[in-house]
Chains A and B, each alone.
Chain A
Amino acid sequence: MLTHRRQPNNTAGPLAEALGCPPASLAELAALEIPRQQQLAAMITARHRQQQDALEAALRRALPACLRPLLGNVVHRET
C-alpha cells in the first residue's frame, strides 16, 4: 500500500487535518465553517484515495509489463 507522507495534526481544523498542514497555512480560509471544512476534507481524502488506487492499479499493470523485456530471456531459459 502507498503511505501518506504526513501525520495529521489533531489540533487543526478538518481541512488542515486532511492536508496535514499547520492551521496557519490556511489562516485566510479560517472563516469556513467546520461542516464545510469537513465536506472539503472528504473531497480531498476521496481524491487522495482515488489517486492511490490509480497508482496501485498502474503498478500492478506495469510491473509485469516492464519486467518482461528485462527478464524475458532469463524466464525463457528457465522455462
Chain B
Amino acid sequence: MLASLIEVRKLAALLEQPASELDDLTPYPPEALRQLRHLCEETCLADDRARFQRWAQLAAWLPTALTAPLARRAGPLLTARIATEMPSHRGAAIARRLPVSFLTRVCQHLDPQRSRELIRHLPPPLLVETALTLIREGAFMLLGRVADALDDATTRAIMEAVDNDSHLLRIALYMESRTRLDHLVRLLPRERLMQAVLLATDPANDLVLEVIALLGNLGYELKHQLGDLAASQPDAVLERIIQVTEAHQLWPDLIPVIAELSPATQQRLLALPALQQQPAILGHIITAADQHGLWSRLLPLVAMMGPALLQEVGNQAAILDRHAIARAMEAALTTEQWPALVRVAGHLPAQRQNDVAQIIDEYGKVDPALRQRLATLAADNGLPTRVQ
C-alpha cells in the first residue's frame, strides 16, 4: 500500500538510512509502521526531555527580547528542543523575533507531532515565508507533516504563495492525516487542482506516486473528476501509472480509484497493452482485491472485460483458495454482481469451479430462488454442469 511505502520513507529519513534499506517493511500495515516510527522518534529525538523542560521554564522568566538572541546563540537544535517544551504562545512570541532563515533550520529539528500548538500560534505570513524557504530546500516530507497542524487560512495563504503545483503534490504525499488532505484539496480552486493533476501526469515530471496518493484519498466526486482527467492522458501516461503501481504494489490504492472512473475510461484502461502482456499484473490485482476487501470494486471491471482478458483473470485466479472464492462470492451477493462473477467463474480451473458450485449450493439452502437464478446465469454463460 502507498501509505506503507510513505511510512517506510519517513522511517528511513528519521533513521538517516536510504529507503531501500527498509524496503522489506513495506508489506506491513501502515498503522504498525507509523507506531514504529513514533516509538523511534520518542527514543531518538525526544531524549532527555526533563532537561529541556527545565530550560523552557527558565526561558519563560526572561524577556522575549533577550530570549530570541539567546535562541540564535543556542543554535537550531537546542532551540527546537526547548521550544517544543515551552507554552506555545511563549514559543511563538520568541519565533516572531527570529529571522526566517533561522526558523527554517529550527523546523528541521522540530517534532511536528509535539509542536502542533506552537505552529498554530505562529502568524501566517511568517509560516508562509518559512514554508517557501523549506520548499526551496526540498523539505517536502517535513512540510507534509507540518501541514497537518496548519489552519485553513494559513494553508490557503501558503497555497497561494506556492507557484509550482508539483510542490503542493509532493507535500500532500507526506501528510499524516488523509482526511485532512481531502479537506485541504477542497481549499484549492478546482481549476488549479485540475492543472496540478495534468502537470503530475506529464511524463516529464516524476509524480505518479503523488497522483495516486492524491486520487486515492479524495472523496467520491473529486476522485471521479480528477481520475477521469488523469486517465484522459495518452496511453503512455496510463501505462506509466500502471507500471509504477505494479512496481510498488499499490493496487489496494489504485483499485478504488479505477472503480470510480467513468465506464469509457475504464474500458480504455482495460485495453492497455500492459494488462494484456503482463498477466502477473492481473494476479496482483486479484490478490490485492482479496486481501483488502475490494472485490465489490473489482467485479464491475471484470464485467467489462473481453474474453481474452477474462481468460487471463481466470488463469491468475487459480492462485486463490476456497476462502478467497467465498469472499469474492460474498461481495457478488451483497452488491448483486453475479453476472461478473459467473463470467469469470467460467474461466477458473476445475477445482475452483467446484468451490463456486459448492458455495452456490450453500446459498441455495437458504435462498433456493437465488440458486435457481445463478444456475440459469451459469447455463447462459456456458458453465460446466457442476456449476449450474
Contacts and interface: CB of A to CB of B under 8 A. Distances in A.
A26 B36 contact: yes
Interface in A24-74: 25-26, 28-29, 31, 36, 43-44, 47-48, 50-52, 54-55, 58-59, 61-62, 65-66, 68-70
A55 B78 contact: yes
A61 B48 contact: no
Interface residues of B, number: 32
A25 B73 contact: no
A4 B32 contact: no
Nearest to A55: B77
Interface string B16-56: 11000100110011011001100110111101110100000
B17 A55 contact: no
A75 interface: no
Most interface-central of A31, A44, A52, A54 (chain B CB within 10 A): A44
A28 B31 contact: yes
Chain A interface SS verdict (over half):
helix
B63 to A, nearest CB: 12
Contact of B75 (A36, A62, A68): A62
Nearest to B27: A31
A65 B73 contact: yes
Contact of B81 (A3, A6, A55, A65): A55
A66 B74 contact: yes
A61 B304 CA distance: 68
B47 A4 contact: yes
A50 B16 CA distance: 10
Given A28-B28, A69-B73, A48 B47 contact: yes
B47 A58 contact: no
Contacts of B29: 28
A31 B167 CA distance: 37
Contact of B78 (A20, A31, A50, A62): A62
